Structure 1
């Protein structure tokens, strides 16, 4: 596990969050969604999307992972939801490709879980594209239980999504080192 700083993102961080988002989509979903969809992703639109998320979602927040060089290498976001079985959603988790498999995702999920726990949200779910085997494996290793399925559409291609849930977010909270 690499040493890094996890902190709540500010509005000033959104430009870099947008870059991580687009770059991560282009590597993670290459071959899973149409190339022209990935080619059309823009940093400017992503920045607007994440600012919109922070303004319009229900109790939204973003945590960023910063490496020793001071570079944002990943982020995770969460929000409150009205679901009969879960009250929080891990809305996103994106890491730069070179930072995967190093424990960054686990630390970001822990930050989201701690935020939820501190704000009275006991359970959470996350949606992941079923064809994203790395993501599915990650959430299964984190103890997520399959909860729901849905279909999404990206660039005219329909994909299967699966939701994984945790009834108690405390199991995801890592101790500070």
Structure 2
């Protein structure tokens, strides 16, 4: 794992989060959704999306990963949900492409799992595009089990989504060394 700081995000971090989100979409979903959809993503719209997320209902929260020079290299977002099977949703987890496979995603996932546990949410789920083999592999490696399926649309293209879930978030909490 690389050396970095993980901390709760604030509104001041949203521009950096927007950059990771847009850049992450453009590298992760190239070839999986229409090119014009990806080309139409903007930092400004993403910044507004994440500001709105932080100020929404359902107790939303975000954590960021920061490497040297205060550069945000990844983030994770979560919220409580009203679902009979799960109490929380891992809403998003994005990393810059060059930071994948270094343990950053695991550290961010652990931070959000600890947050869920602290607020009394013991089970969580995440939706993943089925064509996103990297994402599916990551959540499977974290012990996620497939629970549901749905269809989503991006730029006029329908894609299949898979919901992975964890009935006990404590299994995701990495102990500090």
Tell me the TM-score range normalised by the shorter chain.
over 0.9
1:94 corresponding residue in structure 2: 94
Where 1:121 maps in the other structure, the secondary structure is coil
1:59 corresponding residue in structure 2: 59
1:134 corresponding residue in structure 2: 134
Residue-pair matches, total: 177
2:28 corresponding residue in structure 1: 28
> 1:1-177 maps to which residues of 2 (within 5 A)?
1-177=1-177
Query: Residue by residue, what CA displacement relative to the aligned partner does 1:131-163 show, whole Å, maximum 9, x if unpaired?
Result: 000000000010000010000000000000000
- What is the CA–CA distance in structure 2 between the aligned matches of 1:31 and 1:57, rounded to whole Å? 34
Shift of 1:56: 1.4
Query: Residue by residue, what CA displacement relative to the aligned partner does 1:91-133 show, whole Å, maximum 9, x if unpaired?
Result: 0000000000000000000000000000000000000000000
- What is the CA–CA distance in structure 2 between the aligned matches of 1:124 and 1:34, rounded to whole Å? 30
- What is the CA–CA distance in structure 2 between the aligned matches of 1:62 and 1:14, rounded to whole Å? 10
TM-score, normalization: structure 2? 0.99
Shift of 1:3: 1.1
Would you identify which runs of 4 or more consecutive aligned residues in structure 1 move more than 4 Å? none
Root mean square deviation, CA, Å: 0.6
Shift of 1:36: 0.3
Shift of 1:55: 1.0
Query: Residue by residue, what CA displacement relative to the aligned partner does 1:55-106 show, whole Å, maximum 9, x if unpaired?
Result: 1131000000001332110000000001101000000000000000000000
- What is the CA–CA distance in structure 2 between the aligned matches of 1:136 and 1:94, rounded to whole Å? 13
- What is the CA–CA distance in structure 2 between the aligned matches of 1:163 and 1:129, rounded to whole Å? 9
* Conserved 8 A contact 2:16-2:71: no
> Which ranges in structure 2 are unaligned for 5 or more consecutive residues?
none
